[in-house]
Chain A
Amino acid sequence: MSQSSAAATFSFSLQTPSRYGPRIGNILYRRTGPSSEPIQIATPGILTATSRGVVPHLSRDNHRATNAIRWVNVPFETFLEHNPPVPTLQPGLNPLHTFLGFVPGKHILSMSGRDPYDGREMPPNGVQHISVNSLRGVRKLSPSDWRSYVLSCKPDIVFALSDIPFTNPPYSQKRLTKSIDRSATWLSAILRPAEGERPLNVLVHMAGGTSAPARKAFSDSLVEKLYGPEADAVAPLTTLDEAVAGYSFDLVPLRQSLEVSEKRDPRNASPTDLNPVIPTHTEQIIPLVKASLTPLPETKPRLINSTESPHEILHYISSVGIDLFDAHWAQRAADIGVALDFEFPVRSASDERRDIGHNLYDEQFTYDFKPFADAFRGVISEEDSSSVPICHCLACSPFHPPSRIYHGFDTPEHSGTPIRDPESAPHYKPHHTRAYIHHLLHTHEMSAHTFLVMHNLEVLDAFFAGIRSVIAERPEAWTEEVEKFLQKYDGSLKVFEAAKASWKAVELARGKGRLAREKEKQDEATLGTVIETDD
């Protein structure tokens, strides 16, 4: 499957085609221009989540130093605070990359209207708009505005607007019908090729809510041949699916609906919620995903937003052959002081059940000078454990920068400091320790989260590399390896609950005056993300 265009090509190839089972593939994104080395993303793989256009806690030098960050998704709603949205005014060849500081040669940027993690209640969508959140309140986003923003910002990939209600689940049959009709119409609005504009790489959200027939109906509408005005609207396409680059699934609205239909209290999930208490409902969602995929070609990439754990990811790979997952949960784990520590395939089958990470707030880490994870070491970690794989994050494997800024009469010839050859291999330093991060967490230092985000993304990336290697090299062992993983690592994520409780305790200990003063800022939604203003 590929979309050829004069501007850039997005192609996806499956090495091990499979309709619903584990599969490995490769995304190739090739820009035109002098530096047109294609960007490759092996699947199953991750996309990194952003908040207000940045990978939380990472300055540009640090996000570039994190190789796990390759596909980055940018929810656009926060930019609707201004009209026109500021990124649409950015000049240049790759305006969104330029505005946000991502590298066209390294990063694939996708743009979605909403933050897929945001499940807060919203005013209803309309025939010609979805409701989106911005700091200045709810805004309406229409398919035509969306198209024009996308054409101005030139992301590599765009999510078509989808009519996902966030009003009051469960939704009636009538509402779901409206949803799939609108979503299909809005999809055609973004697919419509236009003179002189580059064809877009469009991912479509699989509409239909928790109704399998509605989901199938939506997918059917993508592949059915169009006639009359509908066909004219997207000519020369004969079906919508022809121009669709891939399929996406948002779990948050599905979980909310399933939760309500079980007569429970649906908790509104906000993008900043750590680990929504809503059960994942994986078993119920898998048939819904299948219902969507049944009519569709198996050759296009499938993306799921808002999984909560490696366990859940393995389920979706095993049962419905999902290719891409957002890293949001692993990034949020960094906000609450959790250093991820898990591996796939499991190398040492020990009896003890383990957490998937460490709550570094815990007092047990006060004197723990080890690297963040047991499953990984730093490049020059002392333990003689060359069999343990390396975590290349800047916490586990920091190094002396190959060059530094000079400010005036401080170059080596003046200071006498030996000069470092910028071409030489990195001069690695010892890993940062759990004890250091424990200290930074308890003293509310933002750097703690910086280190943890970089580490967690690398651990998650390594997890996916392991997944791919098993599918590629030992497909017959897949089920057994998944089972081993589920056995070894606690899937109830107690460690996240503990970390959250620790965070609150530290907050309280910081004193009532401060809490009162910043009460608004210190609620759970901003947990771990508040900019420290005290010294």
Chain B
Amino acid sequence: MVSALSRSRVPMQFEVIAKCHTTKARVSRMSLVHGVTMLPTFMPVATQAAIKGLTAQQMEALGVTLILNNTYHLNLRPGLNVLNAAGGAHKFQGWDGNLLTDSGGFQLVSLSKFTTITEEGALFSSPFTGEPTMLTPEESISIQHTIGADIIMQLDDVVSSLTTGSRVEEAMERSVRWLDRCILQHEKSGKKGAQNLFAIVQGGLDPLLRDRCLDAMIERRDGVAGYAIGGLSGGEEKDVFWRIIKQCADKLPEERPRYSMGIGFAEDLLVCVALGVDMADCVFPTRTARFGVALTHNGPINLKLNKHAKDFRTIDENCPCPTCKDRTSRAMLHHIVTHETAAAHAITLHNIVFQAQVMGRAREAIIAGKFPDYLRSFFAQYFGDAGYPEWCINALRSVGVDLLEGKPNAKVILGNGAKWEYATN
């Protein structure tokens, strides 16, 4: 255990350990108050202080060291008074590992129809009383201080990635101004020793706006411990998505972690890692598990389908998760999926481990100098039959990896990529 004193001296240590010789991928060690997380990593989402159906003890056993809570939700329930009385969100949910909270802004915009953004903050109607309520950047930071996550996010002015026109520029510029207010609030709070503020790069799909935002936020690097790339994963073309990620990752400072928000598909994760991203989060792997979809290195499988009813193989023979290690059969999972919560638990355990394995193998490959090989073999196995998404080929070519090398007859899927068994959800 680190003493409280030394904790306050060293809020975050971020150290790049190895870099891929070809791509922009890197392995780093991020030490926070609640432990060390090796990057790149995927962060499972515990929206309301629980990974749905699982316990903190299980998450620890799965080898997860960093999870995400949503500020918007925790602020509504249990509320800050309860979290304060509990001694913070870690203690409240019995989680001793690292924790990241978002600013609450994204959910305000996506879950509340009546949110209006003003320079002061986001104005919304309280879900409890209906009264107009303001979430300012200062307020967001102070809420996140109460929650007590190891990594906290600035409040940004979120616009859908499909928005065009002057609103995108306005949101980007306001996000920079709000970053200043967040930094100020964080500096004066005295929490800087234990919690780390990340900035969120905005600018929509416009490279010029992104560039201006990057410049402004990099200027403020002394006030921020890391950078997130926001405003993506909102239904934009994948070919645009990766270019923005690349642009941001290329420009962001080497010595700060880079976090791509809302990314969870395996192919997206690996492309982002190759472009230089260190962290990502998404509800997809845990959510799709509850619908009966298990992620595997051969592509997702939908256990609801009748073809699994008499299949005594487990999800993935080589998977170290508790479900596969115990050789839980697809037939058994098929029997209980969407009927018993235990099915959701079993597949959630597996999917979380799958995500961790995808990232863990990336780390090992980078260290071993074999990351391009890993990319090629992963994509061949994952998309071999379904076809390679063209955007992944393009994205990886931009960092010197040709997925189709030696595969002149490979099937290529145009547009946003392959459709899996889970597409019916």
Contact = CB atoms under 8 A, between A and B. Distances in A.
Given A91-B312, A409-B27, A409-B367, A60 B326 contact: yes
Q: Secondary structure of the A side of the interface?
A: loop
A40 interface: no
Interface residues of B, number: 76
A438 B50 CA distance: 13
Interface string A69-98: 000000000110010001001110000001
- Specify which of A100, A438, A445 lies most central, judged by the most chain B CB atoms within 10 Å of its CB: A445
A533 B290 contact: yes
B341 A405 contact: no
B257 to A, nearest CB: 15
A52 B94 contact: no
Contacts of B261: none
B248 interface: no
B326 A429 contact: no
Given A401-B61, A429-B94, A535-B45, A57 B287 contact: no
Interface of A: 51-62, 78-79, 82, 86, 89-91, 98-101, 135, 366-367, 369, 394, 398-401, 403-410, 414-417, 429-430, 432-433, 435-436, 438-440, 442-443, 445-447, 449-451, 529-533, 535
| Interface pairs A-B: 3 shortest CB-CB | A407-B360, A408-B360, A401-B61
Given A406-B63, A410-B360, A450 B335 contact: no
Given A406-B63, A409-B38, A439 B310 contact: no
8 contacts: A59-B322, A62-B345, A407-B356, A436-B92, A443-B48, A443-B73, A447-B55, A532-B53
B117 to A, nearest CB: 23
Contact of B359 (A55, A407, A429, A439): A407
A399 B57 contact: yes
Interface in B295-309: 309
B63 A405 contact: yes
Given A53-B332, A59-B345, A407-B361, 8 more contacts: A53-B335, A59-B342, A61-B58, A62-B345, A401-B61, A415-B37, A417-B36, A435-B92
B147 interface: no
Contacts of A53: 332, 335-336
Contact of A439 (B55, B78, B345, B362): B78
Contacts, number: 216
Nearest to B76: A443
A99 to B, nearest CB: 6
A440 B50 contact: yes
Given A404-B61, A408-B362, A533 B287 contact: yes
A78 B360 CA distance: 40
A242 B258 CA distance: 73
B251 interface: no
Nearest to A449: B341
Given A57-B342, A401-B60, A415 B52 contact: no
Nearest to A409: B363
A430 B91 contact: yes
Given A101-B326, A101-B332, A415-B36, A439 B82 contact: yes
A399 B57 CA distance: 7
B280 to A, nearest CB: 15
B47 A405 contact: no
B55 A398 contact: yes
A446 B77 CA distance: 16
Contacts of B359: 407-408
A46 B214 CA distance: 64
Given A60-B326, A405-B356, A410 B47 contact: no
A180 to B, nearest CB: 34
Nearest to B85: A367
A451 B86 CA distance: 19
A405 B356 CA distance: 10
A64 to B, nearest CB: 9
Nearest to A89: B310
B115 interface: no
B240 interface: no
Interface in B59-111: 60-63, 65, 73, 77-78, 81-82, 85-86, 91-94, 96
